[in-house]
Amino acid sequence: WAKLIRVLSMSRLTAIHGPIIYSNYGSTASTILYDKESDLYNTFFAQLDTIQSEFGANKTYAGFAKFDPSYKGSIPAWQKVVNSMRLRLAMRISKVAPSLAKTQGEKAIADAAGLITTNADNFLVSLNGNIMPVAQICYQWDDTRMGGPIEQFMVGYNDGRISKYYAPVANA
């Protein structure tokens, strides 16, 4: 389960920032090498294979139900997350590694555990009644504003999305 969360989070990180420290994470060497994205995706797919295999061997395990606010310990639900993650990663690399993407996408679709196909299957992270700090600042305190740099950019380029992202100040 923790390995899956690692793949979920690090795949997003590499999608946004490119190469990341993954295989050498925790090293105390004076020089730590970043993993190439092509290596990362191969590693992610291999780890998803292992994770799916471990979930498959423990489908009835109920031990982490009390630690799992997302699926309440349902291993079949987590297996859908694995397949959906595999499909997502395959789609991300479809233009740069089409054969690998095809193989992994087909593997995700063919797996008997299935994919996330309904809202009831969605992977949601419970905050156990707490509010995320950014949401609290934005929605409860109503204390978010457009910054000068984004205003210069959007106004300067006459960006039509400005009205979708920001509302005019009511008491100006």
Give the separation between CA 6 and CA 160, rounded to whole angstroms.
Answer: 37
What per-residue confidence (pLDDT) applies to 50? 97
Q: Record the tokens describing residue 148, joined without a space.
A: 């000068």
Going from the C-alpha of 11 to that of each of 2, 90, 120, the distances in angstroms are 14, 11, 24
Each residue's pLDDT tens digit in the chain (172 positions)? 889 999 999 999 999 999 999 999 988 999 999 999 999 999 999 999 999 999 999 988 888 888 888 898 999 999 999 999 999 999 999 999 999 999 999 999 999 999 999 999 998 876 767 777 777 877 777 777 788 899 999 999 999 999 888 888 776 5
Q: Find the distance separating the first CA and the last CA of the chain, reported in whole Å.
A: 50
Going from the C-alpha of 87 to that of each of 26, 38, 90, 106, 166, the distances in angstroms are 29, 16, 5, 8, 34
